[in-house]
Chains A and B, each alone.
Chain A
Amino acid sequence: EADIYQTPRYLVIGTGKKITLECSQTMGHDKMYWYQQDPGMELHLIHYSYGVNSTEKGDLSSESTVSRIRTEHFPLTLESARPSHTSQYLCASSDNVKGDTGELFFGEGSRLTVL
C-alpha cells in the first residue's frame, strides 16, 4: 500500500482565493509529480521534482507553483484561484534506482471546485 497522502480531498473555494494543495510521502522517494485531470480527460503533468530544491514545469504549470524544501513534502499553490482551475489534482512519487524511474505511487487526489 502506497504511503502518499493528499489534503484536502475536496475543496470548494471562491474566485481569487489563494490555495495550497498538500502532498506528503513517507517512502523517501526522490521524485514527486503533480498531475491535473478533468473528468474523462487526459492526465496532464503540471510540475515535477527530482529531489530537494529541484522543481520543473510540466505542460500546464504557468498558473501554479510548487516547492520542494523537504524530500517528503511537495505542495502545490494557486495564488489566485479561478473557475478554470476546477479539476482533480493528483500527486505521485517514485524512486530512482539505477536510472529506472520506478513505479509511480499516486495519492487519492484533491478535487478542487472554484466558484
Chain B
Amino acid sequence: DAKTTQPPSMDCAEGRAANLPCNHSTISGNEYVYWYRQIHSQGPQYIIHGLKNNETNEMASLIITEDRKSSTLILPHATLRDTAVYYCIVRVDMRFGAGTRLTVKP
C-alpha cells in the first residue's frame, strides 16, 4: 500500500490560496487519492478525492500529476475556519499519516 509524505506545517494568509502538497510515489494504479481535514478533536471531514483526473468541488480542488506520484490540494480563498490538520491518504485501508497543520493567519 502506498504511503504519503506531507510537510508538517504551513501558513497561509487569509483570502489567499492555500496549496497543500502530498507525495505518494509508490501509489498503485487502482489507489485513489483522498484528502481529509480535522479541526481540533472532531472527526476528520472529507474534502475531495480523485484517481487520475483533477477534481473540483465546493470546498477545494485536487490536482494530481500525470504520473500520479504527487498531488496538491488547493483551497482557493482560505479563511480562518480552514485552520486544521490536512491529511492525504492513498491507502485502501485508510490509514492516516501525520498530515499538514495549516494555519490561516489574518
A residues with a Cβ closer than 8 A to B are 33, 35, 37, 39, 42-45, 48, 56, 58-59, 88, 90, 92, 94, 99-101, 103-109
Contact = CB atoms under 8 A, between A and B. Distances in A.
Contacts of A43: 38, 44, 87, 96
Interface string B75-106: 00000000000010000111111110000000
A99 B49 CA distance: 13
Given A42-B97, A101-B32, A106 B41 contact: no
Nearest to A35: B96
A59 B41 contact: no
B41 A103 contact: no
Interface residues of B, number: 20
A39 B46 CA distance: 20
Given A39-B41, A88-B41, A101 B94 contact: yes
B49 A103 contact: yes
Nearest to A96: B92
B44 A45 contact: no
Contact of A92 (B38, B43, B97, B98): B43
Contacts of A109: 41, 43
Contact of B32 (A35, A58, A100): A100
B93 A104 contact: no
B83 to A, nearest CB: 14
28 contacts: A35-B96, A39-B41, A42-B96, A42-B97, A42-B99, A43-B38, A43-B44, A43-B87, A44-B96, A45-B93, A45-B94, A56-B93, A58-B95, A59-B95, A90-B43, A92-B94, A100-B49, A100-B51, A101-B94, A103-B34, A103-B49, A104-B34, A104-B36, A104-B44, A104-B46, A106-B44, A107-B43, A108-B43
